[in-house]
Amino acid sequence: MDITQPAFWLSLLNIIFIDLILAGDNAIVIGLAARKLPQQTQKKAILYGMGGAVIIRIAATVAVIWLLQIPWLLAVGGLLLIAIAYKLLTDNEDHKEVKAGTSLWSAVWTIIIADAAMGLDNVIAVAGAANQHVVLVIIGLCISVPIVVWGSTIFIKLTNRFSWIIYVGSAVLAYTASHMITQESRLQSVFGAHPLWTWIFIAFVMIGVLLAGYLKNRQTTSETSE
């Protein structure tokens, strides 16, 4: 992909935004894992832990990019990402199961393992948004991870205060997911031959995810208030 082309920068911005919108859980994990350490040691634990997590995530994303070249897996990845987009809108996990480390390396290990376990959504989303370009994955992660580490608290507060940010993020994920499905080689007889069907399908998925998430949240709010 040519870095002088607008498509490159649009894809990069998409990757960075996806990383940020899905980083709330990871930011919480960082805070929980390092909360019992002295303040100076907390910084080291976060730095080392996220460094290891980034390496694992880059390797996992590259592996997923390679796997997505296998017939039908691009469509399967898109379907998984649709579920992730819906989960982003309706998930209310509190992460009480994350244990705080009592030493530097135990906290580092907790951050790496927890991030790897929770990072499937990021990996699939970034792999889809990268359009199978490894360079985009590496650049996007290198830019977004420092933002997550040092700006995670601010970003979490913003998403809690402005709920529409989550809906925008979910819409971006839904777009990426539907785009992945339309790029599946086995479905080109449908989408490749009829570009209009591609945009209709993408619009249908985005509206469907947002509407389903909105209705689910309304139901949850109604049940809580009773």
Q: What is the pLDDT of residues 138-150, one digit of tens each?
A: 887 777 666 666 6
For residue 1, tell me if it sits in a domain: no
Asked if 82 and 209 touch (Cβ cutoff 8 Å), the reply is yes
pLDDT reported for residue 52: 80
- What's the number of domains the chain is made of? 1
Overall pTM > 0.85? no
**pLDDT of residue 82 exceeding 70:** yes
| Cβ neighbours for 97, distance < 8 A, ≥ 6 positions apart | none
What percent of the chain stands above pLDDT 90?
A: 9
Query: Is 41 part of any domain?
Result: yes
pLDDT bin (cut points 50, 70, 90) of residue 100 is low
Nearest to 140 by CA among 54, 79, 29: 54
Domain span holding position 218? 6-225
What pLDDT, on a 0 to 100 scale, did the predictor assign at position 20? 72
- 116 pLDDT above the threshold of 80: no
Q: Is the pLDDT of residue 157 over 70?
A: no
Establish how many alpha carbons lie within 13 A of residue 99's alpha carbon, considering only the half-sphere containing its beta carbon: 7
Give the phi and the psi of residue 5 in degrees, each rounded to 5. -90, 145
How large is the C-alpha radius of gyration of the chain? Answer: 18
* C-beta of residue 170 within 8 angstroms of C-beta of residue 82: no
Please check whether residue 81 lies inside any domain of the structure. Answer: yes
Q: Is residue 12 part of a domain?
A: yes
How far out from the chain centre does Cα 57 lie? Answer: 11
Please provide the distance, in angstroms rounded to a whole number, between the alpha carbons at the two ends of the chain.
Answer: 54
Q: Are 102 and 29 in contact (CB under 8 A)?
A: no
